[in-house]
Amino acid sequence: MVAGLVTAQIESFKACLPELEPLLKAHWEELALFQDNIPLEPNYPFYFQHEAQGGLLFATVRKRAKIVAYYIGFIARHPHYQTSLQCKPDIWRVIEGERGYLYERRLFKTVERELIRRGVDVWWNGEKTAHPCGRLYQAFKMQPAEVYYVKYLGDK
């Protein structure tokens, strides 16, 4: 890879996991709710199984061969609409120090292109209210659809 080159691609989650793990931990530390009560403990076999079955999408943006942005989404038939293949996000992130519209846009263009190639007809995305990203979604002609509320019940 040429020094300074920025690329966006679909990759293997399993193959990239050693490089991705510290980024996932930093992502959790930055955004996760209830960190004092719920530790980061990914079920990697679950991800590997979905990837092997074609139900996981993992996209990256790399700068000088290092991951600077990633997207993980799950692709499946919707239980209410069996004819509709949909993608729901797991997580996506542009790492600190590399944030900027360029990487988000490259990442989302790559994801969108792959979802179309796979025959997905509905693509969902979400945002943390403390970290809004509606402008990016609107740039991809997405519309607001739902709002979730959350409450930790573990101490009850």
Percent over 70 (pLDDT), the chain: 96
Chain-wide mean pLDDT for the chain? 91
For the segment 76-82, the average pLDDT, to the nearest whole number, is: 95
Q: Where are the domains of the chain?
A: 6-139
Cβ of 107: how many Cβ atoms within 10 Å? Answer: 22
- Alpha carbon separation from 95 to 71, 132, 146 (Å, rounded): 12, 15, 26
As beta bridge partners, residue 9 has: 60
Query: What is the per-residue pLDDT for 150?
Result: 83
Tokens standing for residue 27: 């992502």
Task: Please indicate whether residue 71 or residue 101 has the higher confidence score (pLDDT).
Answer: 71
Q: Which CATH superfamily is domain 6-139 in?
A: Gcn5-related N-acetyltransferase (GNAT) (3.40.630.30)
pLDDT tens digits, one per residue of 4-22: 699 999 999 999 999 999 9
**Which residues, including other chains, have CB under 8 Å from residue 99's CB and lie 6 or more apart?**
none
N- to C-terminal Cα separation, the chain: 53
Query: What is the per-residue pLDDT for 101?
Result: 61
Tokens standing for residue 54: 């074609």
**For 24, phi and psi rounded to 5 degrees?**
-65, -40
In the sheet where 122-123 sits, what is the strand order?
6-10, 56-63, 66-77, 85-94, 122-123
Percent over 90 (pLDDT), the chain: 72
Asked if pLDDT for residue 135 goes beyond 90, the answer is no
pLDDT band for 1, please (50, 70, 90 cuts). very low
pLDDT tens digits, one per residue of 20-48: 999 999 999 999 999 999 999 999 999 99
Identity at 29, one-letter amino acid code: E
